[in-house]
Amino acid sequence: MHFSLFLTSRSRGPEEDRAVMQAMVEHATDAEQKGFDAVFLPDHHFTGYAPPASDPFVFAAYLAGKLERMHFGFSVQTLALHHPVRFAERLALLDQLTDGKLLVGVGSGTTPEEMIGFGVNYQDSSRLANENLEIAERLWAKQSGDEPVSFDNGHYRGAVVSRIVPTPYTKPEPRVMSVAARPSSVERAAKKAQPAFILAFTPPIIDSGNAYEEVKKNFGIYRSALEAAGHSEEAVRAALEWTTHSYQHVHIAETDEQAAAEMDIILQQYQETVEREHAANKAAEAISGVDLRPTPDARTEGYKGTWCLYGSPETVAAELQKYADLGIGNVLMAAMGGPLTDERRRFTAQTMRLFAERVQPLLLSNEAAAEADKVAAL
């Protein structure tokens, strides 16, 4: 199983932007040193949600110069906000710069505030996302002698006569990851042998509190479709290797009781921040002509049971082992979410240390024991 770190932390004002950015670079560097396999970057705008999220392509390129071993993921690129040609070009370039170590999560949804800031109608976001990805795939496949790739998505129109330069490092295209939320997205990921983000809930209810059962169900649907699609064993194995279960908040302490008490502090600070952001989003909803559901309350047991992983090293390792046994290839964990207070920095350092020193050895011991059992059975 791979372990990845989600690079996110809130800035509450201009005076915090630089400090948060520097902390995220330090967090990514620490992750590589502690054995994580990838960092994932969000794509968000205007709200103070992780300042480098305003251009995760630039941030990934910067980190790639510092972190030679790491994979670089996007969770997720909001395709409706991108010019499809620029999207195809920049990903091909990043794929070359990272020697193919990209994991390109793609999706359509974000907030109305972000959409109108880019002149995009929120209600067009799903259509634009699908069309922009289809255009990018045609561009990655295009050779110089082929017919021009013409496109018109209602927002951008044009034609590419020659080809995308550079060509992607990964063939036939950079490794795309879909959010397996709808039958169409599951079918797409399975057909193309792509890794997928597996939901820990079933929309529209996003905080049922039954994360493992939801992941088990949704992963089973995706895996069955992938294995039925006629791919080689190698292609199926490569897709499952990076198929991802995500936690929005991960916290580890010496005891379960300490971890629960500290998680309550983390979620209270997080909730205060997202509620401040929600006020701007509601104003944007009025301009966009939509009325979305309120932001969930992160302090409820349902939210904790869906989006959070916390406890002693032994408890956390046991929970992660369930997903390893299920066949999940990658677990994406956020350990620095919410405002970057001094308390949050301390909690993050504690989690990272305990994960490296005690959680990972427990999981490796379980893996070694399982391999020994297999050998004995032969």
Tell me if 270 sits within 8 A of 347, measured CB to CB: no
Amino acid at 307: W
Helix (H) or strand (E) holding 234, with range, is helix 233-241
Amino acid at 97: L
Q: How many CA atoms does the CB half-sphere of 104 hold within 13 Å? A: 22
Two structure tokens written together for 164: 């995308």
Q: What single DSSP character describes residue 34?
A: T
Tell me if 79 sits within 8 A of 151, measured CB to CB: no
- 342-354 vs 14-33: helix crossing angle, rounded to 10: 10
Q: What is the pLDDT along the chain (378 residues), one digit of tens a residue?
A: 999 999 999 999 999 999 999 999 999 999 999 999 999 999 999 988 899 999 999 999 999 999 999 999 999 999 999 999 999 999 999 999 999 999 999 988 778 889 989 999 888 999 999 999 999 999 999 999 999 999 999 999 999 999 999 999 999 999 999 999 889 899 999 999 999 999 999 988 899 999 999 999 999 999 999 999 999 999 999 999 999 999 999 999 999 999 999 999 999 999 998 888 888 788 888 888 888 878 889 999 999 999 999 999 999 999 999 999 999 999 999 999 999 999 999 999 999 999 999 999 999 998 877 776 776 776
Give the CATH number, domain containing residue 249: 3.20.20.30
In the chain, the number of structural domains is 1
Helix (H) or strand (E) holding 196, with range, is strand 196-197
What range defines the domain where residue 116 resides? 2-377
Cα–Cα distance measured from residue 287 to residue 285, given in angstroms and rounded to the nearest whole number: 5
